Structure 1
């Protein structure tokens, strides 16, 4: 269902004067309609988008993999080719059909779900004990990796956007903050995968890099949420910001106590050498979805609740490896 004005509705979509428009999801069949009409079905179009994206990424990686380049580079290049830079510029008609405005919203929603589970797996793969073992060198590198783009890029980028590009202050603040946030994210699992591909993860340099990336992720997590509460305080009031902070603290305590004890209960109920039951995996998946929804409503961005839940999963147990595989 989607919003639409009454005059914009076709007669077959009007039901008792309703202002809602029926959006077809599943096709009636290829032979029951014109070939072009098949692209108005969101599920068919989503499947086609995923097929094109993964096929193009696989083809690019087939060639770049021979030069020992990670798959991440192939996926980024596939996104550039299918985006407005290449496809949208040189083949606008194909881009308008394959990545229409409405279909991009569906793809973006699916992307949010994927990012949610990705952040959960980041927490599962992280070993918090690395922070305890980290020394002054790791803390210095991890903090500077986060603080340098925050202090330098924000000030310089905002000045260039306002003075050179003539962008208004509010838009410049949003765009520069978003770009800086991307630079701040080191993504601990991505760093670990690159180190494994380079076969230096067990070296002294590998341990230093892992510890620094973990510290950088944790510090950036704290800084981003502090910035969010500052925005809430400016747009609403101090009372609203404190209320949101209190509810977020309650949610984090709930994750670290109740949900963590449930995870340990799952571990105790799983016999040694036996696989984890599917029912337990479904419970964890539902729990992280609920945590994401509740966190988004109380003031914590949807990806950080699952990330914290992932940190509570004990490392070294089949539960963690099962969650990563599934």
Structure 2
């Protein structure tokens, strides 16, 4: 006897399976001292057509028919924009004050070299990774940006797991990652604004609208939010709904402009006042459901878009190996060189080079934006996903800092070429 399941039932079943499998993968990775996000992403890949679809194609089609995938994708977009709001609201670049020399040296080294190398690599590999939807310049700029990403939220989680988030190296890495993330999303906004489809007039209009939104956010929305959140009681019931409304409104606005919804969500998050008890409580409530339920749906969506069947030739495996080498080596060399130029000793500089290689969820978001906007094809997207997995998996073992790098209270670290580095806790 066949069992008929209505579409809503199929959707709910799919959500339950995705959340359960992803969290099981996260727990397994946590047991082996790897970031849970690695297991969650890998578990999502198991549910995709390349793995589950190859072993049990009828089961995979029954669990994830096209209409269910569309519904899961919509829910995943909500999770993605909420996550980007949280990322923006928690971004702290104010700590750079007093530590500008060493932080900016690390940021410059960890971004410029992989960006330039990634751009050059992209120009050589466009037939394999690119699409005819965008120009060669836009494609190369996007790949260069993707190669230079450091995932702030995953890096923070890794350092916290090893109780190194308040250590000298941990503090420095997090500050540099925060500045790098802000620059990366700003750069992605510019790339999306100036490379979209349409006439020159439409591109100018899109850029002008994007700039207007940024200015309104900085000079109107941000002061208004500071005043409103200061007046609200900590346990106000309207805070979370108001933040969701603001996040979705900003996300929808940037979508209408011709950018990507994650840009608007991130911008709205950046407008949040720092140190607000009301915001911290509301963010904690949002984070629980977003990270536990909605982000696994995004990971599953990533799995459904990966094209592992494209790795059937030795040539494509070599392309992946080359892309991985370019991403990891240039990031390590660039970050380490920046740290050395700022006056750090070689051992600390090399550890920072390893830490700044963490890409995690941020790389997945950037890769998804690239696929949706035609910057990369499915093979290029899959390569970026695998780079995110491999580099994040390597960061955990390399983040086991030496005993002398244990957490310390506010202190100053003497630099090799003179001066000090101040570790702040607030």
> Under a length normalisation based on structure 1, what TM-score does the superposition of the two structures give?
0.77
Match of 1:258 in 2: 220
Count residues with an aligned counterpart. Answer: 284
Deviations 1:174-197 (A, max 9, x none): 887766554443232222111111
Residues 1:245 and 2:210 are matched in the alignment: no
* Greater relative contact order, per chain length (Cα 8 Å cut-off, separation 6+): 2
Match of 2:49 in 1: 84
Deviates more, 1:285-294 or 1:241-250: 241-250
Contact 1:125 1:189 in 2 (8 A): no
Distance in 2 (alpha carbons) for counterparts of 1:317 and 1:199: 25
CA 1:223 to 1:260, structure 2 compared with 1: closer, same or farther past 3 Å?
closer
Match of 1:194 in 2: 158
Match of 1:27 in 2: none
Deviates more, 1:183-192 or 1:173-182: 173-182
Match of 2:171 in 1: 207
Match of 2:37 in 1: 72
CA 1:114 to 1:184, structure 2 compared with 1: closer, same or farther past 3 Å?
farther
Deviations 1:84-113 (A, max 9, x none): 231011111111111222321221121111
From 111, 115, 123, give the equivalent of 2:76.
111
Distance in 2 (alpha carbons) for counterparts of 1:316 and 1:256: 18
Contact 2:29 2:39 in 1 (8 A): yes
CA 1:110 to 1:183, structure 2 compared with 1: closer, same or farther past 3 Å?
farther
Residues 1:137 and 2:105 are matched in the alignment: no
3-state SS in 1 of match to 2:261? coil
Match of 2:232 in 1: 270
Structure 1 residue 249, shift from structure 2 partner: 2.0
Distance in 1 (alpha carbons) for counterparts of 2:248 and 2:158: 29
Contact 1:266 1:280 in 2 (8 A): no
Contact 2:141 2:191 in 1 (8 A): no
Contact 2:107 2:180 in 1 (8 A): yes
Which structure has the bigger radius of gyration? 1
Distance in 1 (alpha carbons) for counterparts of 2:44 and 2:150: 20
3-state SS in 2 of match to 1:52? helix
Deviates more, 1:137-146 or 1:121-130: 137-146
Residues 1:121 and 2:86 are matched in the alignment: yes
Structure 1, unaligned stretches of length 5 or more?
Answer: 1-32
Structure 1 residue 294, shift from structure 2 partner: 1.3
Match of 2:277 in 1: 318
Deviates more, 1:117-126 or 1:105-114: 105-114
Distance in 2 (alpha carbons) for counterparts of 1:161 and 1:312: 37
Distance in 2 (alpha carbons) for counterparts of 1:102 and 1:183: 34
Contact 1:289 1:306 in 2 (8 A): yes
Deviations 1:114-144 (A, max 9, x none): 1100010001111130343442332233234
3-state SS in 2 of match to 1:185? coil
CA 1:261 to 1:138, structure 2 compared with 1: closer, same or farther past 3 Å?
closer
Distance in 2 (alpha carbons) for counterparts of 1:217 and 1:167: 24
Match of 2:262 in 1: 303
Structure 1 residue 290, shift from structure 2 partner: 1.0
Residues 1:216 and 2:164 are matched in the alignment: no
Structure 1 residue 282, shift from structure 2 partner: 1.5
Distance in 2 (alpha carbons) for counterparts of 1:95 and 1:172: 36
Structure 1 residue 284, shift from structure 2 partner: 2.1
Residues 1:231 and 2:166 are matched in the alignment: no
Deviates more, 1:148-157 or 1:68-77: 148-157
